[in-house]
Amino acid sequence: MAHNQGDIVWLDMAFSTADGRKERPVLIISNSSLQSYDDVIAVKITKTHIKDGFHYKLTDDMLSKPLPESSSIHFSNILTISASIFTSRKKPIQLKQKYLDEVLDKIKDLIELE
């Protein structure tokens, strides 16, 4: 299944501090140019919201359907992953274009040369 920029999909991720795994959402930020490699660039979504400039609070009106919990995009966690590891039991949720544009602008600001 091809995934699109702006899709929120679920990944089976290992805990960073202990044994075990948990299903976690990520937002795909790459465009379709990577699909032939089965890779996507994504940012993690977390339950934690900190007003530090690296979190983007998600609300239900920003999404095609609500996430199970209150969540934020965490800009400092950008990763490249294989689309084949997405959990297929859940259908993707779409971040509406207006908000996707804001997220992509914030990421561009973070990686812009100084």
**Residue 31 CB contacts under 8 Å (≥ 6 apart), including other chains:** 5
Return the CATH fold of 7-111. Answer: SH3 type barrels. (2.30.30)
DSSP string covering 23-61, please?
EEEEEE-S-GGGGGGTEEEEEEEES---SSSSEEEE-GG
In this structure, how many other beta carbons lie within 10 angstroms of the beta carbon of residue 45? 22
| Residues 13-36: tens digit of each pLDDT | 766 666 777 788 999 999 988 777
Residue 16 confidence (pLDDT): 64
Amino acid at 102: E
Spatial CA neighbour of 26 closest among 80, 102, 97, 98: 80
| Residues 50-86: tens digit of each pLDDT | 888 889 999 999 999 999 889 999 988 899 988 878 7
Residue 95 confidence (pLDDT): 97
